[in-house]
A and B are shown apart, each in its own frame.
Chain A
Amino acid sequence: MQKHLTLEQKDARLGVKLVLPALSIILLLILYPVGYNIYLSFFDVTMTGQSTYIALENYTSVLSDPTFWKSVATTFTYVIFSTFGTTLFGLIVAMVMNKKFPLRWLVRSIILLPYVAPVISVVFAWQFFFDPVNGIFMHFMVDVLGIYDQRFNLIGSPSYAIWVAIIFSIWKSFPFTYLMLLSRLQTIDKNLYEAAEIDGCGPVRKFFSITLPELYFVMGSIVLLRFIWNFNKFEDIYLLTDNVKVLSIYTYFKAFTGNMDLGQGSALVVIQFGLLIGLILLYVKKVLKW
């Protein structure tokens, strides 16, 4: 018995050893920085010299800045519409790809491309598409359809740019949503549909009474993940346009350009993270009913 136990203990020790490199990297570079960040947010941080403790001053100056509140509003608009749009479009695509049609295998791999391609390499194509001089979008809107009188820089204007960013985000992330939903769709029991058909249910009724309830929890988790990712989104927006100042971008500018205020930047990050956790908890309780 004694020997058996030591063997198990030995094994456990080896297990810890094997996971230690991975674990220590994660703890050291994710957990510690999060803590350090909270610490920094109470200081006036300079890159070279000493940092001085200034209590809540970073927070008060951030919260009293109207640009901050504007970027909170922008963030919410972006997150809500892009999450909703991605989920809806992903659902439509998943339902289409669940039906058999010729060349489906090819279509299925083509539509993963937006998700795979580097952001940096696709943003320029989008910018070109909306370019006032050369872009096809303005060509159609002005020359073909006559919706606008003259060509203008759509991505350059803040009120339009956010919608371009939202459509871009839907384009970039719908493949992920579609894949997750498709794999769940494929596991739905076919008998349910047959039974519904015998009861005289049409396709609409079948969708709302069978498909949607079956997808509820997968969709709930996808929406949660998408919400988290879009809330923290930086590259997809920053590289596409200079005019959509969501929180991440606002923080980036505050901390890494001009006089590089890392203290206020840290405070912004803490606020953003706190907001995110609060919203997640609310969502998990209300929607996922955990």
Chain B
Amino acid sequence: MVIHKNIFKSIGFFLLVMFIVLFSLFPFLQMLSTSLKHSWDWGNPSLIPAQVNTSAYKELLNIGQDEKDLPESVRILLEETPDLTEAQKESIIAKFKDSGDIFPFMKYFRNSLAFATTAAFISLIIAIFGAYSISRMKYRGQKLIQRGVLFVYMVGGILLLIPLYKISVAIGLAGTEQGTVVSLLIIYMVQTLPVSLYMLGNTFRSIPFSIEEAAFVEGYTRIQTIWKIIIPLSLGALATVFVYSFMIAWNEYLFASVFLKSFKDLFTLPIALKALFVSKNAIWDRIMAASMLTAIPVVILFMLVQKYLAGNMSSGGVKE
């Protein structure tokens, strides 16, 4: 009797685990499956493609597309004019490719990468000093700053969008490409800074003060201890904060959609993908392949810092 009950219990438990895993993973399997299917296979409910089709990936990553997209006459011109330099050839190819119908995935990918890396890096530097200050030093208002940082949890993106847009239009930043880039970078920094401060503050507090004291005795200044002791001792946390900020900027849609509206060359992946989906129908394979390629960098980065991030999330230092 007891054994039977245990078997049922284990099977039930196993099914529950399976359900949780499938529920979490299914959309990703769906994405992968559809990205590899031919259009005649989309309606087939099986997740395994009847015939693997990688053309969507090839098209997005621009593999083997150089020749295909060029008009016949241009290709002949390129082949039969030996005195063209490589640079000239490339510029000719680029010119004809741009006029084509392809979705410049790599360009948007680079834009996203540039935005996310820059924002995360600057935010990290500012947060290191800020977090050190609020967690290690004593002055009036220090506690207030420490708690006030959490207030930012309440202020969602939509609450800031209108005033920030109006301000950047008023001071003339929203009119130019450079200005838009600067405003967007600052906005991403602001979104990640509170969390970075909080997470790093917690880490710095966990470093024994005696180590720092020893350094002071040796004649180190505060700044020197930050560089030579605090930073080397919290590399894991720094990487985590960097990845975290990177993810926020990489995934951001709301601000990018408003600020970059009139600058198509600056589009980040989220707005470009949304635009692609709206503009053309029945290109599920390309949409899904683009989705996969957008998700992969973030997932890899996350896997690298997972241990730290999970720990930090559970101690409360996280924002959506």
Q: Is there contact, CB below 8 Å, between B154 and A228?
A: yes
Kindly state the separation between the CA atoms of A15 and B273 in the bound complex, as whole angstroms.
Answer: 44
Is B62 part of the binding interface, using a Cβ–Cβ cutoff of 8 Å? no
* Contact among B158, B247, B287, B291 for A269, CB-based, below 8 A: B158
Which residues of A sit under 8 angstroms from B166, Cβ to Cβ? 36, 40, 45, 262
Q: Given known contacts A14-B137, A15-B133, A36-B167, is B158 in contact with A232 (CB within 8 Å)? A: yes
Interface residue from A32, A129, A179 paired with B314 (Cβ < 8 Å): A179
Which of A108-116, A154-162, A194-202, A205-213 sits within the interface? A108-116
The segment from A59-67, A76-84, A249-257 that touches chain B is A249-257
Q: Is the CB of A18 within 8 A of B30?
A: no
Q: A15-B133, A15-B137, A248-B156 are in contact. Are A121 and B292 (CB under 8 A)?
A: yes
Does A280 reach chain B (CB closer than 8 Å)?
A: yes
Interface string of A14-42 (1 = CB under 8 A from B): 11111101110110011011101100100
By a CB distance below 8 angstroms, the chain A residues around B154 are 228, 273, 276-277, 280
With contacts defined as CB atoms under 8 Å apart, how many contacts are there between chain A and chain B in the complex? Answer: 253
Residues in B neighbouring A47, C-beta threshold 8 A: 169
Within 8 Å of chain A (Cβ to Cβ): is B303?
yes
Q: What count of chain A residues pass the 8 Å CB interface test?
A: 87
Q: A33-B163, A129-B30, A171-B27 are in contact. Are A122 and B157 (CB under 8 A)?
A: no
What's the minimum C-beta distance from B290 to chain A, rounded to whole angstroms? 8
Say whether B160 contacts A33, CB under 8 Å: yes
Interface 1/0 per residue, A96-127 and B, CB below 8 Å: 10010100000101111110111111101110
Q: Which residue of B lies closest to A45 (CB)?
A: B166
Contacts of B318 in A (CB 8 A): 176
CB contacts (< 8 Å) of B13 on chain A: these are: 96, 99, 101
Question: Contact: B139 with A12, CB < 8 Å?
Answer: yes
Residues of the B chain whose Cβ atoms lie less than 8 Å from the Cβ of A110: 21, 24-25
Please measure, in the bound complex, the distance between the C-alpha atom of A179 and the C-alpha atom of B306, giving whole angstroms.
Answer: 12
Knowing A12-B137, A120-B294, A122-B291, the reply to whether A234 touches B157 (Cβ < 8 A) is yes
Minimal beta-carbon separation of A274 from chain B (angstroms): 11
B93: Cβ under 8 A from any A Cβ: no
By the criterion CB–CB under 8 Å, are A134 and B139 in contact? no
Say yes or no: A116 contacts B247, CB within 8 Å. yes
Hey, which chain B residues are within 8 Å of A176, CB to CB?
Answer: 313, 318, 320
Q: Is B17 an interface residue (CB 8 A)?
A: yes
A269 CB, nearest partner CB in chain B, Å: 5
**B287: which of A34, A124, A251 is its contact (CB, 8 Å)?**
A124
Q: Are A251 and B303 in touch, CB under 8 angstroms?
A: no
State which of A11, A107, A180 has its C-beta within 8 Å of the C-beta of B17: A107
How far does the alpha carbon of A92 sit from the alpha carbon of B269 in the complex, in Å?
Answer: 35
Proximity string of chain B (241-275) to chain A, C-beta cutoff 8 Å, 1 when within and 0 when not: 00000010011011000100000000001100110
- Chain B residues lying within 8 Å of A173, measured Cβ to Cβ, are 320
Query: In this complex, which of B154, B190, B222, B310 has the most chain A Cβ atoms within 10 angstroms of its Cβ?
Result: B154
Interface SS of chain B: helix
B163/A128 in contact, CB under 8 A = no
Chain B residues with Cβ below 8 Å from A114 are 24, 27
Main secondary structure on A side of the interface with B: helix
Whether the pair A125, B27 counts as a contact (CB closer than 8 A) is yes
Check A231/B155 contact, CB under 8 A, given A12-B137, A116-B302, A126-B27: no
Whether a CB of chain A sits under 8 angstroms from the CB of B23 is: yes
Q: Are A179 and B310 in contact (CB under 8 A)?
A: yes
Q: Contacting chain A: which of B49-57, B69-77, B123-131, B206-214?
A: B123-131
A266 contacts partner chain B, Cβ-Cβ < 8 Å: yes
Contact of A133 with B by CB under 8 A: yes
Closest A residue, CB atoms, query B190: A29
Nearest-neighbor residue (CB-CB) of A247 within chain B: B158
Identify which of residues 73-89 in chain B touch chain A, using a CB-to-CB cut-off of 8 Å.
none
Q: How far is the CA of A228 from the CA of B313 in the complex (A)?
A: 17
B164 at the interface (CB under 8 A from A): yes
**B159 cross-chain contacts in A, Cβ below 8 A:** 34, 37, 232, 269, 272-273
Which A residues fall within an 8 A CB radius of B?
8, 11-19, 21-23, 25-26, 29-30, 32-34, 36-37, 40, 45, 47, 92-93, 96, 99, 101, 107, 109-114, 116-122, 124-126, 128-129, 133-134, 136, 139-140, 171, 173, 175-176, 179-180, 182-183, 221, 225, 228-229, 231-235, 238-239, 248, 251-252, 255-256, 262, 265-266, 269, 272-273, 276-277, 280
Q: Which 10 A-B pairs have the closest CB atoms?
A: A232-B156, A22-B130, A15-B137, A183-B314, A33-B163, A12-B139, A121-B291, A18-B133, A19-B133, A125-B27
